[in-house]
Structure 1
Amino acid sequence: MKCPVCNHENGNASFCERCGSNLTPSSPTSDAVQGQQSAAAEPEYTRWSSTQATPSHVPGSSNTPSAPRPVQQGSDSSSTAGHSSSGDNTANQWNNIVQNEKVQQAKEVSKQYLSYFLSVLTRPYQTMKTVGEQHSINGWITMALIAILTSTYFLITFSRMDVDGLFIAGFIRPLLFTAISLIVSIALIYAILKIEKITFRPKTLVAQFGTLLVPAVASLVLANLFIVISYSIAIFFLVVSYVVTFVSLNTVLFQYPLNRTKAVIDSMYSVLIANVVLFYMLYRLLGATIIGLIGLMFSPYGRL
């Protein structure tokens, strides 16, 4: 008789000679027991193979080598994109922070200069005698405002008269002319004090000159406001701002003890030369523009 478990030919034996299985017919209960016995007697490698093969047929099994590979690549690319986007966001946030800090610094400087401007406007000469090197930035701001307000005055005037070459003739040229005139004024004061052999600090010199120019800024603001109402009043305030520049030049010079030593030239003549040079520059740089504007007001066919 052939064993149903291991297929061994046993003859008429009741039990298999190889695996020991019962070869006699039995009831359903005995068949179940026989099945358990045969499972227990199954070779080890057969049971291990069956248990390893089964998960490979289960859908979504983690042992499938091709399924997780694309997912891993996608996650890597998305992770890289996430890192790059987060880096860009960080850079943008940092730029915003830097810009905000600059804006805050500009606001602080504006507030400080406004308080400085109002305090100087009431007593410019008294304030000029107390300023130091730390106020040199205020002096440069004052001179920059004078150049910008002067250019704005001419720009508004040119725009109301419908003159060609508005930006260059009405803004750039007066801006450069005024800036050069103010820088030359400081250079003249510096040169005279050097000739007089007077000890001074250049930054303090800029602070003093800029302090005395604060009334010129106020005069130019009024000139820009009145240009819409009356040309004559606007020109009056413009001329006042130039007069303040001359007065500031002389006031800074005469606060120092001039002519203490035997200089090459007398202090009166050195100061006179400084005023003549400044007047000549203003006449050559700004006089032609002012005369041209006056000609436009009285001649309907005039053009600069």
Structure 2
Amino acid sequence: MITCPNCHHLNDGGNFCEKCGTRLTEGEAVVAGGAPAASVETVRPNEHLEKAKNVSKLYFGYFMSLLKSPLAKGSRIGEEHFVNGLITIILYSLILPLSMYVALGEYGRYMDSAFLTIVIKPTLAMAVFVFLMSVFTFCAVKVVGVQVTFKSAVAKFGAILVPFIAVFVLGLLMSLFEIYEFVFVLGLGLFGAIFTAPAIVVMSYTRNIASKFDPLYGIILTYVASFIVFALILRGFIMNMIDSLGIFSSPF
């Protein structure tokens, strides 16, 4: 029996539908005495998922190349890697709070909204701090007299953070296995980046530039501005932790 593609009438045979006269094709044959053959539909891949996969692959290649030779590759990074630089800043800002959350373990239950307090808020604060540090670095480069775009400076700053993300990942793994020296590893990743990234970025732009304003003073000003912001953020984080734990709160 053949099913009409137009009105779905079952025909005993022939080239045309008995009911509506539509031409019949062999592809409309009914399977196993009555059930129409299932039409094969082409599964279209999700465009957003495919884009996400492509971005992930590109970023992984970018990350691994910088991890192998951060100075050599990082010095050639331009504004075309601005988005990769922002992604790197976000990853760098996330892993440190996440490591602390993992290290606290069951003690986190004594805090109100532990994940929000230990991970989400510090990640946002850390991202703001690192981004501002890249802004200060850009300003230092401009003060020296180098013509550079903001996107290029941020991209290069993010590139220098790649090896310190690897250090943070090591600290995260150590916290998972309760190796308490992870604190020193995280400290290395934090302060290593604070002291290293601005200096490398500034010097990469000013190496062969003659300027009345020495690049060293630009680096020092970057450190001063960065540590002022860091102190303010750290103070806010400590006060937030105290409020969450209920320390010094009145028992009445």
How has the CA–CA distance of structure 1 residues 234 and 284 changed in structure 2, closer, same or farther, with 3 Å as cutoff?
A: farther
How has the CA–CA distance of structure 1 residues 290 and 205 changed in structure 2, closer, same or farther, with 3 Å as cutoff?
A: same
Given that 2:67 and 2:163 are in contact with CA atoms closer than 8 Å, whether structure 1 keeps it comes out as: yes
Alignment of 1:250-289 (within 5 A): 250-257=199-206, 260-263=210-213, 266-286=214-234
How has the CA–CA distance of structure 1 residues 168 and 292 changed in structure 2, closer, same or farther, with 3 Å as cutoff?
A: closer
Give the Cα separation in 1 of the matches to 2:178 and 2:126.
23
**What is the Cα deviation at residue 288 of structure 1?**
7.2
Q: Match of 1:38?
A: none
Query: TM-score, length-normalised on structure 2?
Result: 0.69
Structure 2 counterpart of 1:138, one-letter code: N
RMSD of aligned C-alpha atoms?
3.0
**What is the Cα deviation at residue 248 of structure 1?**
0.9
Query: TM-score, length-normalised on structure 1?
Result: 0.58
Give the Cα separation in 2 of the matches to 1:224 and 1:291.
24
Given that 1:158 and 1:170 are in contact with CA atoms closer than 8 Å, whether structure 2 keeps it comes out as: no
Structure 2 counterpart of 1:175, one-letter code: T
Given that 1:213 and 1:245 are in contact with CA atoms closer than 8 Å, whether structure 2 keeps it comes out as: no
Larger Rg: 1
Alignment of 1:1-304 (within 5 A): 100-162=46-108, 163-165=110-112, 166-242=114-190, 243-257=192-206, 260-263=210-213, 266-286=214-234
Q: Identity over aligned residues, as a percent? A: 26
**What is the Cα deviation at residue 160 of structure 1?**
3.2
| Runs of 4+ that moved beyond 6 A | 290-293
**What is the Cα deviation at residue 282 of structure 1?**
2.6
Given that 2:138 and 2:154 are in contact with CA atoms closer than 8 Å, whether structure 1 keeps it comes out as: no
Structure with bigger helix share is: 1
Give the Cα separation in 1 of the matches to 2:141 and 2:186.
29
Unaligned runs of 5+ in 2: 1-40
Task: Answer 1 or 2: higher relative contact order, Cα 8 Å, separation at least 6.
Answer: 2
Give the Cα separation in 2 of the matches to 1:142 and 1:227.
22
Unaligned runs of 5+ in 1: 1-92, 296-300
Aligned residues: 201
Give SS of 2:218's match: helix
Given that 1:154 and 1:174 are in contact with CA atoms closer than 8 Å, whether structure 2 keeps it comes out as: no
